[in-house]
């Protein structure tokens, strides 16, 4: 999916919501455990219920990998089930030396070898340019590079000063822009504070930002939208647990739908106000 | 496997060789492609041929993941086939926010859910303490944290100065020592230069170091051994392509054996000289 196509879907659905499919076998409603593939069955119902209000889906690969080969099957079925007008993100946080990153790229982008064909994959920047580039060799695919994450550990290294009054995550944003255009690269920015977002937008005015940590983790969708939006929206705001685990009963999909719709309606307001 | 047990195996085999199972379906001898599971068949023959001379095996997960669910099956069979006196490393370079890292830990450590039961997993430090800690909750398991990698991209961020004359990878070594003892944590150090290794040993005198980039990638085993060894050896030196792809013919296992044996004999000399 190209940047323009993504923007068109955002305009059409009046939403920049990404639904995180952090599907945990220990957390899904118990009545699903009888089905042949409970993980896929849960995802299928969540996707059916929310795709009208979401422009992207983001399975976190850890949840599938924890189940071994079976989890990989559930992931493949889930990806195939996601409607084609939704942007798909393999939240894998991979990164290895060049030839190995090329294999991870095949794992997530090359349907022929792995069965998977995501639009994008999240990548950790620690190993530098040659660990990121192999993902960019796949035409039409995206790298979503970790810049500033929303967990407490982000203060350990990401927020340390590198050189003169510049933080590591800012350096990552600046350096990595030389590796790819805003048509191939997005950034994970777990920033919900207005001042931080304004600073980040000075460094990466055009790129899409994938913003976690809104909702359940306490960030303000209003601030993210006001200070993070650019002329093509430039935002994908993720909610995982806040949507998929609203209810643990038989009404889980209906409740997820209501939550997704509520977020979409809030986003519709911000799109008319800030775009 | 405990640190003492690992040291005992090193002493018994007179080797600190780790064989990297970077098994690429496109590179293995063509006569294996007829077998039911060519990846496992290749690994099985490599393990049979080399385990006398190696104390550790390190499958790089990318190579298996690139094949989807099938690759995951090959990985599981490979892990089960590795003799119990060898330390096993899932070279996965994972790292995510806390609860998600917990799932990656289950993926590599918890046989019940994933089918896999590695001794250790490589983890990227970018997301900080809470991305690393969940792996340490598994008793008897190890984290091998990326500090300084051997690829060219290591200069992009790892080798930048943080604060006063301290590089990011040195900061990673210092800060992460507060998270775990040398009985739970090792470091990836792709350093083959004597001066660099001496500096690193000042920061982490007791930890085991997993050193890639020796042999095929041009590093000197002699320098690594002289300047990297501590009183419990403290080194696992990895060779992947330099062992498993010496020959692409039917004699690939025999050639791998000769290469592993040659390295073991060189290591035996360094153990008697520097330990």
Query: Measured between CB atoms, which of B68, B103, B107 is closest to A114?
Result: B68
Q: Do B124 and A126 touch (CB under 8 A)?
A: yes
> What is the reported pLDDT for A195?
85
Cβ partners under 8 Å of residue A198, min gap 6 = A227
Can you tell me the distance from the alpha carbon of B134 to that of B203, in angstroms, rounded to the nearest whole number?
24
> What is the reported pLDDT for A194?
81
Q: How confident is the model at residue B62 (pLDDT cuts 50, 70, 90)?
A: very high
Q: Is A156 on the interface with B (CB under 8 A)?
A: yes
Active site residue A84: no
Choice between A194 and A33, residue whose per-residue pLDDT is larger? A33
> At residue B219, does pLDDT exceed 70?
no
Q: What is the mean pLDDT of residues A195-201?
A: 92
> At residue B46, does pLDDT exceed 80?
yes
Contact B196, B226 (CB under 8 A): no
Can you tell me the distance from the alpha carbon of B9 to that of B29, in angstroms, rounded to the nearest whole number?
31
Q: How confident is the model at residue B137 (pLDDT cuts 50, 70, 90)?
A: very high
The number of residues making up chain B comes to 275
Can you tell me the distance from the alpha carbon of A230 to that of A232, in angstroms, rounded to the nearest whole number?
5
Enclosing H/E stretch for B103: helix B98-109
> What is the reported pLDDT for B9?
98
Longest dimension (CA), chain B: 58
> Smallest CA–CA separation between A106 and chain B, in Å?
6
Percentage of chain B with pLDDT > 90? 90
Contact A180, A143 (CB under 8 A): yes
Enclosing H/E stretch for B73: helix B68-81
Contact B197, B190 (CB under 8 A): no
B217, exposed or middle or buried, with CB in 10 Å at 0-12, 13-18, 19+? middle
Can you tell me the distance from the alpha carbon of A246 to that of A91, in angstroms, rounded to the nearest whole number?
22
Q: How confident is the model at residue A228 (pLDDT cuts 50, 70, 90)?
A: very high
CATH number of the domain to which B103 belongs: 3.20.20.70
> Smallest CA–CA separation between A165 and chain B, in Å?
10
> At residue A60, does pLDDT exceed 90?
yes
Q: Is B149 on the interface with A (CB under 8 A)?
A: yes
Q: Residue B54 belongs to what domain range? A: 3-274
Q: What is the mean pLDDT of residues B21-25?
A: 95
Enclosing H/E stretch for B266: helix B252-274
> At residue A164, does pLDDT exceed 80?
no
pLDDT tens-digit map of B102-136 = 999 999 999 998 999 999 999 999 999 999 999 99
> What is the reported pLDDT for A218?
55
User: Global pTM?
Assistant: 0.96
Contact A239, A217 (CB under 8 A): no
Domain count, chain B: 1
Kindly list the catalytic residues of B: 93
> At residue B91, does pLDDT exceed 80?
yes
pLDDT tens-digit map of B225-260 = 999 999 999 999 999 999 999 999 999 999 999 999
Contact A172, A147 (CB under 8 A): yes
Which stretches of chain B are assigned E, i.e. beta strand? 17-21, 56-59, 87-94, 120-123, 142-148, 161-162, 166-167, 185-189, 208-211, 235-239
Percentage of chain A with pLDDT > 90? 90
> Smallest CA–CA separation between B271 and chain A, in Å?
30
> What is the reported pLDDT for A215?
65
> At residue B209, does pLDDT exceed 70?
yes
**Could you tell me where the DSSP H helices lie in chain A?**
3-13, 38-50, 61-65, 69-81, 98-109, 111-114, 129-136, 168-176, 194-203, 221-228, 241-244, 252-274
């Amino acid at each position: 999916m190209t940047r323009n196509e993504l923007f068109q879907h955002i305009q059409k659905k009046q939403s920049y919501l990404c639904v995180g499919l952090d599907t945990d076998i220990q957390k899904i409603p118990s009545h699903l455990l009888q089905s042949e593939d409970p993980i896929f069955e849960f995802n299928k119902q969540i996707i059916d219920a929310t795709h009208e209000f979401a422009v992207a889906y983001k399975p976190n690969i850890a949840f599938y990998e924890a189940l071994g080969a079976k989890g990989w099957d559930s992931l493949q079925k889930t990806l195939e089930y996601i409607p084609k007008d939704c942007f798909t993100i393999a939240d894998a946080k991979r990164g290895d030396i060049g030839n190995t990153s090329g294999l991870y790229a095949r794992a997530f982008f090359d349907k022929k070898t792995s069965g998977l064909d995501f639009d994008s994959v999240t990548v950790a920047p620690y190993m530098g340019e040659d660990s990121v580039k192999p993902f960019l060799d796949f035409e039409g695919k995206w790298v979503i590079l970790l810049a500033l994450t929303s967990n407490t550990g982000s203060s350990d290294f990401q927020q340390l000063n590198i050189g003169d009054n510049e933080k590591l995550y800012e350096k990552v944003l600046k350096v990595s822009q030389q590796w790819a255009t805003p048509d191939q690269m997005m950034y994970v920015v777990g920033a919900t504070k207005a001042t931080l977002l304004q600073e980040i937008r000075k460094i990466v005015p055009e790129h899409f930002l994938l913003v976690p940590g809104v909702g359940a983790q306490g960030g303000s969708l209003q601030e993210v939208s006001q200070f993070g939006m650019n002329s093509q929206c430039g935002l994908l705001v993720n909610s995982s647990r806040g949507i998929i685990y609203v209810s643990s009963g038989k009404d889980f999909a209906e409740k997820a739908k209501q939550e997704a719709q509520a977020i979409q309606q809030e986003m519709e307001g911000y799109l008319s106000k800030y775009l």
